[in-house]
Amino acid sequence: MIFNIEAFDLNKAADSVLFNIKSDCIVVGILHEKTLSGVAQMLNVATKGLISRLVKSGDLNAKAGSTLMLHEVAGVNAPRVLLVSLGKHNVLSPKTFIDASSAAWRAVSATRATSATWMLAQVAVNNRDISWNVRISVLTLRELNYQYTQTKTKAAADADNDNAIKKVLIAVDHEYNQACNTALGEGVAIANGIDLTRELGNLPSNICTPTYLASIAKQLENDWQLKVEVLDQKQIETLKMGSFLSVAKGSAQAPKFIVLEYQGTSSNQAPVVLVGKGITFDSGGISIKLSEHMDEMKYDMCGASAVLGTFRAIVEMHLKLNVVGLIPTCENMPSGNANKPGDVVTSLSGQTIEVLNTDAEGRLVLCDALTYAERFKPAAVIDIASLTGACVIALGHHNSGLFSRNDALANMLLTAGLYASDPVWRLPLDEEYQDQLKSNFADISNTGGRSAGSITAACFLSRFAQAYPWAHLDIAGTAWKGGREKGATGRPVPLLTQFLIDRAK
């Protein structure tokens, strides 16, 4: 799908150029005020009062997201005009704008239109500017346009991917042309990163192995200005990442430790390090999971795919920032060689860990990566992991869990999440929770029991992240959806990219 910005003088009472655009469908937002305004008023003038009559008659429901498709409208060149209700408030909430945009896109996609003109970008959204409107429009339309087809037959793929829309023109006021073109570029780059993250998450684990993830990283290196190093098992053993390797040893798939380096500014600037959990399938190991929904454990590498997707976005944006990505990736499988409850392993940091539950494996691979991150002398480190079911119980599927002892870093992530419509909620890391991780046989146990499970998991990781500002994102409830809508979401790529954009500024 190709997006373009087209600037018009939207201050005119009517603009014949605007409604003479060659397009299969024009999408116009309608605020149910006493008087129409903006593009809606211009369309009303061009159609000799048709829009105001439709609103007055109730043919267009006042509920935000309601749509009405008009055909062969006099005064408009396009064969279709889609009216989408934006509700009764003069200023929309970000959520209302996204929901209305989604409803409008579904209505356009249900037609055989191959091109569309999007006139929602100039609508006033609370605490947002037109640049946000443009970027979130691109992200919303690309999200709805995504179809997974890689492991389907061509016939099935063609049946699923029947959206014919190839071109979208976003109409904006000429005053904001430059800013909107920048926002368009950001939106497309982020959408490309999200698509990569979703695609990797949705692939079955017999295809998306640790070796496959490493090949994707190498592909990014070939396509973009990146440095990528893939460490194999012998190199990981030489580093003495005993905790990471203890998880990998139960699988026939060889582990990989992927290091990505993007230099967007002077090498003197300390990098931000992103650490992604890359468990390409999590059976639970000896502490095996219940069979119900175990297929979804292919998504346990969504932290890793989010790091790859974020890199895909920032290299396309040529972000002026140095970023390092660390991905410890392996499978967690039961076998005669697998970790056993009660085993004690030694991490890269030298701390010993009692493995009470082999299904608490994510923290075992992440802790060694967090220690490895010290060599980059980072400005900040963020790890991203589908770490605990407890976070899903606590926060559901709307907010990712955020843990950090650094208020400045936490506040930047909270702000970035709100702007990106990819929110996080900060949870505590009080010292009292560390007591649950005490072990009689090692320096620390890998689980603190059922109570406060997401917090004690973060407390575990915090012991390996003392040398730098650090934050942990638990994405177990947000990285994918189950049920009929099963599939990876691409989160938290929007949050991470916005955080990095803000850091670069």
Distances (CA, A) of 234 to 35, 48, 245, 251, 300: 71, 75, 10, 16, 24
Q: CA 204, CA 212: separation in Å to the nearest integer?
A: 11
Cβ neighbours of residue 410 closer than 8 Å, sequence gap 6 or more: 402, 404, 426, 471
* Active-site position among 142, 363, 463, 491: 363
The kind and range of the H/E element at 444 are: strand 444-445
Q: For residues 247 and 330, is the Cβ–Cβ distance under 8 A?
A: yes
- Strand partners of residue 471: 382, 404
Give the three-state DSSP class for 329: strand
Q: Structure tokens of 109?
A: 């996609």
Enter the DSSP assignment of 431: G
Enter the DSSP assignment of 123: S
* Active-site position among 289, 340, 426, 503: 289
Enter the DSSP assignment of 1: -
Cβ neighbours of residue 332 closer than 8 Å, sequence gap 6 or more: 247, 250, 251, 279, 281, 282, 283, 284, 285, 300, 358, 359, 361
Enter the DSSP assignment of 255: P
**289 given a catalytic annotation:** yes
Cβ neighbours of residue 224 closer than 8 Å, sequence gap 6 or more: 312, 315, 316
Enter the DSSP assignment of 76: -
What is the b/e burial string over 255-291, where b = at least 16 CB atoms within 10 angstroms of the residue's CB? bbbbbbbbebeeeeeebbbbbbbbbbbbbbbbbebee
Beta strands in 86-202 (DSSP E): 115-118, 167-173
**363 given a catalytic annotation:** yes
Q: Are strands 352-355 and 278-282 parallel, antiparallel or unpaired?
A: unpaired
Catalytic residues: 289, 363
